[in-house]
Amino acid sequence: MELEITIVSGMSGAGKSTVLGALEDMGYFCMDNVPPDLLFELVTLMKHPSMGKKRLAAVIDVRTGKSFEDMKKVILKLRKAGINVRIIFLDAKDEVLLNRYSLTRRRHPLSNGHGSLNDFIKKEREILSEIRDMANYKLDTSLVNPHELRQKIVEIVEGKPDRTLKLVLESFGFKYGIPMSADFVFDARFLPNPYYIEELKSKNGTDPEVAAYFEKFDVMKSYISSMASLIDLVIRNYVKEAKDVLYVSVGCSGGVHRSVYIVQELASIFKEKVNVSISHRDLLR
C-alpha cells in the first residue's frame, strides 16, 4: 500500500479538530500541531513493517511558530520523494471566526497580549496564504456544521467525484449595512421602486403583485439576466477550485422589495444547478 499523507491546515476555529477526528475514524494515524520538519521522521516511522497503518494525517498550522515557514519546502520534498501528499485547507468568514471565538472564549494562537482578535485573524490569513494556494481542497466551513464537515471529508478521501457547490443568496437593505460575508454585492437601488406605489408599499418582493409590477420593466429582466450570467461563470470556476460556498448579496434601499424579488428570481434560475440557500436579512425590520 502506497504511503499517503494528508495535511490539514487552515484558520483557527475553522474545524481542523473535527476533520482530524473524521480521518482518525477512517483509519488514519493522526497527529495534531506537527512541526513541518517532523513529517520526515513520521514518514520513516510509517514505513516500518510494524506499522499496520499506511495513512498519516497531520494538522500543521500557525501554532508551530517559525517552523511553519518551511512548510512549502517540506511538501515539495515529500512529493519529490514519491509520497502522496494531500492538503486540505479549512477557512471561514472573519465574522464567523469571531463569533466562534466569542462562544468558546478560547485564546487565538497568535495572541500576544497586544492587538485585537481581528488583527490576529488578519495576520493568520497572511501567514497561511502560501499553504492555502497549495491546497488540493479548500473548504469554507462558515455554514457547515460538524456532521456536514465530516461528510465532506469522507467524500474527499473516498474520491466521490460529484461536488455540489452551495449558493447562498441574501437580500439586504443598504441603510442597515452591507453583509460582511458577501463574495459579490449587487446594487438594485437604481431599479423602479414599488415603495412609492401606495397599494404595493406594505407588500414585499415575494408577493405576486410586486412581482407583476417588476415584470413590466425590461431593465429588471436585463439586470437579473446579467447577474445570472456572471454568477454562472463564477460557479463553474469555483467548482474547479474545489470551493464549496458562494455568497451573493443583493441590496436595495430597505431590503424589502427589489432585492427580495431579485433573490427569489435568481434562486429559481439556479435551483436545478446547485444547492441554493435564501436569506432575506432585513425583510422583517
pLDDT in tens, 178-202: 988 789 999 999 999 999 999 999 9
Decide the pairing of beta strands 245-252 and 166-173. Answer: parallel
34: Cβ contacts below 8 Å, ≥ 6 apart? 42, 58, 59, 60, 64
Query: In the chain, what are the domain boundaries?
Result: 4-157, 166-280
What is the structure's pLDDT at 172?
96
What would the mean pLDDT of 231-255 be, rounded to a whole number? 87
User: Where is pLDDT greater, at 161 or 259?
Assistant: 259
Whether pLDDT at 1 is above 60: no
Q: At what angle do helices 94-104 and 117-134 cross, to 10 degrees?
A: 120
Whether pLDDT at 19 is above 90: yes
- The pLDDT > 70 percentage for the chain reads 93
Where does residue 246 rank: exposed (0-12), middle (13-18), buried (19+ CB within 10 A)?
buried
- The pLDDT > 90 percentage for the chain reads 44
What is the structure's pLDDT at 175?
95
Query: 4-157: which CATH topology?
Result: Rossmann fold (3.40.50)
Q: How confident is the model over 228-240, as pLDDT tens digits?
A: 999 999 998 887 6
Report the predicted TM-score, pTM, of the whole model to 2 decimal places.
Answer: 0.59
User: Where is pLDDT greater, at 9 or 117?
Assistant: 9
What would the mean pLDDT of 125-134 be, rounded to a whole number? 90
161: Cβ contacts below 8 Å, ≥ 6 apart? none
